[in-house]
Chains A and B, each alone.
Chain A
Amino acid sequence: MSKRNFAAVIFFAIVAIFLVFGALLMHPFGEFGEADQEHYPEMDQYIIDNTQEETGADNGVTAVVFDYRGFDTLGEATVLFTAVAGVIILFRRLKK
């Protein structure tokens, strides 16, 4: 077995162990975890109740995307910008 294959086997074993333990630690489908039982319902109920007074928007989804989670939208815009830049750089040679 070459050195490269040995490293690949080690890496695969580590990833498999992480996947198995992650699967064992997952919450049951449709339920909250035991430790998070109190926090999560509070948070979405807070957004449903206070969206109109805090952001003034009727559309709660847009209020979350552009106001409560604006940083996440900034990341999405960065992804789009990177995709456009990559495509234009890639096709610059073929244009001529």
Chain B
Amino acid sequence: MSGMSRIVKTVTNVAFPIVMIYGLYVIAHGHLTPGGGFQGGAVVASGLAMLLVAYGSVWTMGKVKEKQLSVLESLGAIGFIGLAFLGILMVFVYTSFQGNFFNNFLINQDKIPIFNEIGEGFANINTAGVIPLMNFAVGLKVIAGLFAIVLVMAYATRLKGVKQK
């Protein structure tokens, strides 16, 4: 699949940053507003898929390889599971906690001040303990995973004989 016409490329150039910002907003505000890592990651991945459709899979494969996307996806998964296991390990740091898998160890304590607050009403972004961090991890995972799927399928089914613009 080669690139599409100049009109489509121009519209993509205008719409792409807006889609990116909206998706990253949904990921970053996952603990305050509707949405979260999965949904925001899907928005960002569909923006990247729009770029892929407009500019063609060969051009996109020149910019980013699917191996790099696999590394990013694995980083997201490792971050997610690592945060889950830190919930168990935190029992060695504060003795008053009972360690659990997926324990929210950043809330309701005073050792680590980051993300310590409790959100009520229109809350700040530094609330809710490990939930925003898990949102970022899952968002990275969904972005890289969905874009890797679309990129590999588009590149594998490209027309061989067509001259690339």
Contacts and interface: CB of A to CB of B under 8 A. Distances in A.
Instruction: Specify whether A and B are partners.
Output: yes
Contacts, number: 119
Interface string A59-96: 10111011100110110110011011001100100110
Contacts of B153: 87, 91
Contacts of A54: 104, 107-108
Contacts of B30: 59, 62
User: Could you say which interface size class chain B belongs to?
Assistant: 35 or more
Interface residues of A, number: 29
Interface of A: 52-59, 61-63, 65-67, 70-71, 73-74, 76-77, 80-81, 83-84, 87-88, 91, 94-95
Interface of B: 30-34, 36, 38, 66, 70, 73, 77, 80-81, 84, 101-102, 104, 107-108, 115, 117-121, 123, 127-131, 134-135, 138, 141-142, 145, 148-149, 152-153, 155-157
